[in-house]
Amino acid sequence: MDSKFVFAWIVLLIISLSLTGCYSTRWEKFDEQMKSEVGVKNRDYYIVKWGPPNKRTALDDSGEVLTWEWHGYAADQYQGHSQGWKKTLVFGQDGVLKNFNWEYWGMPVVAF
């Protein structure tokens, strides 16, 4: 096997792993930020910050669940990548954030 070919694959692997770490770190920071906002921020704050939610669900205790979602698909010459995220926030009847959940999938597409 050509040493230049092996070297190129090693470089691509290192770059891919480092970018994956950055993407994970982004969501870890989001998680920490959201933990600090539980009991502090209200529903209107998130609607102004993130825009209208994709879904609203009323709770029996007069609280509310708001969900924001994004789905995408990117293709390059090798394959396609499904990407997306879902942020779900639970608010009490006073409109203050009680809990949150988030999911993400896929990886950012990187052009070399």
Q: Per-residue pLDDT tens for 20-66?
A: 444 557 778 888 999 999 999 999 999 999 999 999 999 999 999 99
Quote the CA–CA distance of 73 and 82 in Å, as a whole number. 5
Q: Which domain holds residue 44?
A: 3-105
User: pLDDT tens digit string along 35-45?
Assistant: 999 999 999 99
pLDDT at residue 21, rounded to an integer? 47
SS3 breakdown of the chain: % helix, strand, coil, rounded to 5?
Answer: 40, 35, 25
Confidence of residue 8 (pLDDT cuts 50, 70, 90): low
User: Is 45 inside a domain boundary?
Assistant: yes
Radius of gyration of the chain (CA): 19
Asked if residue 17 belongs to a domain, the reply is yes
Query: What's the gap between Cα 112 and its chain centre?
Result: 24
- Given its phi and psi angles, is residue 106 left (phi above 0), alpha (psi -120 to 50 degrees) or beta? left
Express each pLDDT in 77-86 by its tens digit. 667 677 788 9
Domain assignment of residue 86, yes or no: yes
**Structurally, how many domains does the chain consist of?**
1
Domain assignment present for 110: no
Classify residue 90: in a domain, yes or no: yes
- pTM (two decimals): 0.67
Instruction: For residue 99, give the CATH number of its domain.
Output: 3.30.1450
Asked whether residue 47 is assigned to any structural domain, the reply reads: yes
Cβ neighbour number for residue 19 with a 10 Å cutoff: 14
Q: Write down the pLDDT at residue 15.
A: 54
Question: What tens digit of pLDDT does each residue of 99-112 get?
Answer: 999 888 775 544 44
pLDDT given at position 83: 78
At 57, is the secondary structure helix, strand, or coil? strand
The token duo for 6 is 């092996």
18 in a domain, yes or no? yes
